[in-house]
Amino acid sequence: MNSKSLIIDIATTLFQQKGYIGVGLNEILKACNLSKGSFYHHFPNGKEALLIACLQSMEEAIMTDIEGIFERYPTTEEATNAMISKLIVNFETEGTITGYTFSSIVSEMASLSDPVRNACAQLYQKMQDIYSNKLVEDGLSQDTANSIALMMTASIEGGMMLCLTQNATAPLSVIAKNLSYILKEF
């Protein structure tokens, strides 16, 4: 793997775990076994440019993943359960949350950098669109689908936050149960 991709890959994980401000360039580069010079060769615009590259990389990874799940299952309800189960397994094995979330980045950077804020907004929107499209397939109206898709995005994101604070996976399980209930309603 070339150095640039390596930097993005490792930085993505670290940013997700510790947030943007919480990770220094030195830490990233040490994990990559690369030097400052190499970094600034590939990212002449510095750390924030790296963050945006990481967000784009996350977008690809998350989209592929979620799209896969949502194609594999016939209904939104089943796909949602599968997705949350995957998050729970991930949390149990990794100890931290490494997939689907970037809340630390949002809360740190949303008010500081518009480019970063927009990149995050786009990522949430794309996830929501997948949910929404599947809900329309399920037979819901576009408006209802959008509304429920937003509820899904928000509650899953909030659920991960609760898991983090409690250091447990129970909150996400409860969210899955509740979303199932809601999705069966329609």
- Under the rule (CB under 8 A), what is the footprint of a second copy? 17-19, 21-22, 96, 103-104, 106-108, 110-112, 117, 120-121, 124, 147-148, 150-151, 153-159, 161-162, 164-167, 171, 174-175, 177-178, 182, 185
- Concatenating the DSSP letter of every residue in 117-137 gives HHHHHHHHHHHHHHHHHHHHH
Note the Cα 178 to chain centre separation in Å. Answer: 21
Residue 1 has a CB neighbour count (10 Å cut-off) of 8
What b-and-e string marks burial along 17-45, b requiring 16 or more CB atoms within 10 Å of the CB?
eebbeebebeebbebbebeeebbeebbee
Among DNA, a second copy, none, residue 89 binds (CB under 5-8 Å by kind): none
**Which positions touch DNA (CB under 7 A)?**
2-4, 23-27, 33-38, 40-42, 44, 46-48
**26 touches, from a second copy, DNA, none (C-beta below 5 to 8 Å by class):** DNA
> Smallest distance, Å, CB 63 to a second copy?
17
CB of 97 to DNA, least distance (A): 21
Q: What span, in angstroms and rounded, lies between the C-alpha atoms of 124 and 129? A: 9
Min separation Cβ 108 and DNA, Å: 12
* Residue 40 near which of DNA, a second copy, none (CB within 5-8 Å, type-dependent): DNA
**Are 48 and 113 spatial neighbours (Cβ–Cβ below 8 Å)?**
yes
69 vs 155, beta carbon nearer a second copy: 155
Q: How far is the CB of 1 from a second copy (least distance, A)?
A: 27
Task: Find all residues with CB under 8 Å of 172, minimum gap 6, and list them.
Answer: 84, 87, 88, 91, 156, 159, 160, 162, 163
Min separation Cβ 102 and a second copy, Å = 9
